[in-house]
């Protein structure tokens, strides 16, 4: 047991939900909210550009779906960026700032700043850049949201309204322990739903191009 001021840590906060579950959750949420943007890109871009956009989108969904665990050096991404992870963990602790609504608002604010910056610096290629900027941040932010939601199935919850240190879980959500059959089932279910959505988008694209 490791204690920090205002935080209580237990074993389930150190042993994380598996990163592949988070990735499947991120891609599922991303596919679920792709609709309006998908219709825009298939109407305005060619097949190669559409493919690039979708690959970028999925990449940033995956990145966002594991990024909040940068606050834990034992996590998959924490091990990749160990020094940064230790700094963030020392400052905010696990499931603090990077697992909060404040973090999502921060990401939205940064994305708007970058978008405004490009509008001022590169007004003549705005449409081209805008799509790339939007798809990267949209995917990344949705991935982060999915991560937070999945962690709210865990018994310890997250500091959703950081800097308040009160932990929150999803109302009425079953407790899913790390590595349990429940997590394996959830992972498989998310993967199945994601594949169904992807097939639907592919058929929609084929129908549009036909």
Domain spans, the chain: 16-209
Q: Is 18 exposed, middle or buried (0-12, 13-18, 19+ CB in 10 A)?
A: middle
Task: Name the token pair of 30.
Answer: 């991303």
CA distance 107 to 194: 25
Cα three-residue angle 138-104-12, rounded to 5 degrees: 115
Backbone φ, ψ for residue 70 (5° rounding): -60, -15
pLDDT (0 to 100) of residue 7:
40
Report the alpha-carbon distance of residue 151 to residue 155 in Å, rounded.
9
Residues in the chain, pLDDT under 70: 1-17, 123-128, 173, 178-179, 210
Inter-CA distances, 157 with 15, 58, 70, 134, 176, Å: 13, 26, 17, 30, 11
Per-residue pLDDT of 68-101, as tens digits, reads 999 988 888 888 998 999 999 888 888 889 999 9
pTM: 0.84
Any bridge partners for residue 7, and if so which?
Answer: 4
């Amino acid at each position: 047991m490791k204690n920090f001021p205002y935080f209580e840590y237990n074993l389930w906060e150190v042993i994380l939900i598996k990163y592949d579950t988070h990735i499947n959750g991120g891609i599922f949420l991303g596919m679920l909210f792709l609709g309006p943007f998908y219709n825009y890109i298939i109407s305005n871009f060619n097949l190669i550009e559409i493919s690039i956009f979708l690959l970028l989108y999925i990449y940033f969904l995956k990145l966002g779906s594991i990024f909040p665990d940068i606050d834990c050096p034992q996590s998959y991404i924490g091990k990749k960026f160990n020094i940064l992870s230790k700094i963030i963990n020392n400052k905010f602790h696990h499931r603090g700032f990077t697992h909060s609504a404040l973090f999502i608002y921060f990401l939205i604010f940064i994305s708007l700043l970058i978008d405004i910056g490009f509008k001022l610096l590169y007004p003549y290629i705005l449409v081209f850049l805008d799509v790339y900027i939007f798809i990267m941040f949209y995917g990344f932010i949705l991935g982060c949201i999915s991560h937070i939601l999945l962690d709210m199935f865990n018994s310890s919850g997250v500091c959703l309204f950081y800097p308040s240190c009160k932990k929150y879980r999803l109302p009425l959500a079953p407790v899913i322990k790390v590595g349990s059959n429940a997590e394996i089932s959830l992972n498989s279910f998310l993967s199945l739903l994601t594949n169904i959505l992807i097939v639907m988008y592919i058929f929609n694209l084929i129908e549009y191009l036909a």
